[in-house]
Structure 1
Amino acid sequence: MTHPNIALLDRIIAAAEAGDATDLANIYAPGAVIWHNHDDKETSVEQNGRLLEGMARWVSDRRYTERRVTAFEGGAVQQHVLRGTRVSTGEEVALHACAVITVVDGQITRLDEYIDSAEAASFAP
């Protein structure tokens, strides 16, 4: 049986791979924030959802590989590689990342994402 905190990460991955942010409102708690190391900014779930859906137009065949996930009391950490095909060039792209989530009452209240900004640039429109 999958740990409930890991199941939340599984749902985020499913949304990202599908390019559909509909489920995010059920995954994240009201007022949840998403922080990125590359710009040291917090974003809202709504902003993150728009990015997730926009990325579907720039990068096709999105898939998360090499996932390593560990749940702990109050959260989980996941390392992964997001892979896909850049729509404009057909180039294969990869983004190594780490996400740390804080979970309260079965919903994510905070997600801290650590990525390589140079790799992230290959995912930009």
Structure 2
Amino acid sequence: MSQDLKDKAITYLRSLENADWDTARAMCARTATVWHNDGKGESGIEENIEGMKGQIHTIESMRYDITRQLSRPGEVLQQHVVHVAAKNGVRGEVHAAVYFRFDDKGLITRIEEYANFIPAD
């Protein structure tokens, strides 16, 4: 089951890369919450996905490279680097540690992301 949850975490991120909001949303429980270390507190999954949708027009490409994944029943902790290329020419990486919690049906119920953007030289 832990490999299945690791694969689900990756599938969720791949859906974000492809702006496949319906797939991302379907992988989450209706009451799923998201927290980022940006000081804004937590939000519901709908608000989080709407925020990503609102920014996607500025992104030329985005790719998640998973560095490592650890899991135990119902949880996945992973490190990844998001390579981002904006349409205005800005390039950079987001280094992140992300925690995913899943319910007994395999739906994401919580995402916590600790991230730091590093502009490319």
Range class of TM-score, shorter chain: 0.7 to 0.9
Q: What percentage of aligned pairs have identical amino acids?
A: 25
1:19 and 1:52 map into 2 onto residues whose CA distance is 9
Q: State the 1:34 CA deviation.
A: 0.4
Indicate the residue corresponding to 2:38 in structure 1.
Answer: 38
Preserved contact between residue 20 and residue 52 of structure 1 (Cα < 8 Å) = no
Q: Which runs of 5+ in 1 are unaligned?
A: none
Q: How far apart, CA to CA, are the structure 1 residues paired with 2:48 and 2:41?
A: 12
Distance in structure 2 (CA, Å) of the matches to 1:60 and 1:68? 26
Taking the aligned partners of 1:46 and 1:55, their CA distance within structure 2 comes to 15
1:77 aligned partner, one-letter code: L
The alignment's TM-score, normalised by the length of structure 1, stands at: 0.83
Q: Distance in 2 between matches of 1:45 and 1:31?
A: 7
Structure 1 residues 67, 51: CA separation in 2 closer, same or farther (over 3 Å shift)? farther
Distance 1:18 1:109, change over 3 A: same
Contact 1:16 1:53 in 2 (8 A): no
Distance 2:74 2:50 in 1: 27
User: Aligned pair 1:109/2:109, yes or no?
Assistant: yes
- Report 1:61-100 matches (<5 A): 61-88=61-88, 90-100=89-99
Aligned partners of 1:66, 1:10: CA distance in 2, in Å? 8
> Alpha-carbon deviation of 1:82?
0.5
Structure 1 residue 2 displacement after superposition: 7.7
Aligned twin of 2:9: 9
The 8 Å contact of residues 33 and 42 in structure 1, kept in 2 or not, is answered as yes
How large is the Cα RMSD of the aligned pairs?
Answer: 2.0
The residue number in structure 2 matching 1:26 is 26
Aligned residues: 118
Q: Letter of the aligned partner of 2:25 in structure 1?
A: A
Q: Where does the alignment leave 5 or more consecutive residues of structure 2 unmatched?
A: none
Query: In the superposition, relative to structure 1, how do residues 37 and 7 fare at CA in structure 2: closer, same or farther (>3 Å)?
Result: same
Aligned partners of 1:35 and 1:113 also within 8 Å = yes
